[in-house]
Amino acid sequence: MSIVQELQGQRVAALKNKKTSTSVIDEYTIISTLLGEIVTVGKNDGNRETTDAEALEVIKKFVKNINETLPHLTSGDERMAKAVAEKTLYERFLPKQMSISEMIVIMANIDIDKSDKRAKGEIMKYFSMNHNAQYNGKELAAAADEFLKG
């Protein structure tokens, strides 16, 4: 099931639960807005379906925007609670992030020469092509450095 299809299903479920929901946010409206942004990416590029990779980028952009807003909100403020709930909602649609140890196990199975000065770049490229949106870039870079030292 594509991310767009999953979002469409979640939007219908949110609409059905709208009257009985005790959430501090309106999930139906938030999912509809997210879905609209995601679908627009494909529509603007030749009136086609949006790919999962493009959808993940849009979702990550929404999470990044909230992360930039959070430091400007006061703890205990209603807006803070709404922002955190909205971020949690978006993160439900992102793949689980790998731990550093999981990354190192994958690196051990990549056919690379550890002494090659381009090895770190090859690792980063491998993860980008095969594990998109499943890792934190800074953590991957640190794990690659650790892996290549050992």
Beta-carbon contacts of residue 37 (< 8 Å; ≥ 6 apart): 58, 62
Is the pTM for the entire model greater than 0.85? no
> Domain limits at 112?
100-149
Are 38 and 58 in contact by the 8 Å Cβ rule? The answer is yes
- How large is the average pLDDT for residues 72-83? 90
pLDDT score recorded for residue 77: 86
Crossing angle of helices 137-149 and 100-108, in 10° steps, is: 50
The pLDDT score that the predictor gives to residue 91 is 93
- Percentage above 70 pLDDT, the chain: 100
pLDDT of 150 over the 80 cut: no
Give the side-chain half-sphere CA count within 13 A for 70.
14
Q: Which of 49, 67, 91 is the last residue of a domain?
A: 91
Cα-based angle 97, 103, 105 (whole degrees, multiple of 5): 135
Task: Tally the domains of the chain.
Answer: 2
13/80 same-domain check: yes
Q: Is the pLDDT of residue 4 over 90?
A: yes
- Single out the residue of 69, 121, 66 nearest to residue 90, CA to CA: 66
Q: Residues 13-34: pLDDT tens digits?
A: 999 988 887 788 999 999 999 9
- Residues 46 and 81 both lie in one domain: yes
Last-in-domain residue among 59, 91, 123:
91
Helix-helix angle 137-149:119-130, to 10 degrees: 140
* pLDDT at residue 5 is higher than 90: yes
Let me know whether 38 and 72 are in one domain: yes
| Dihedral sign computed on CA atoms, order 144, 145, 148, 150 | negative
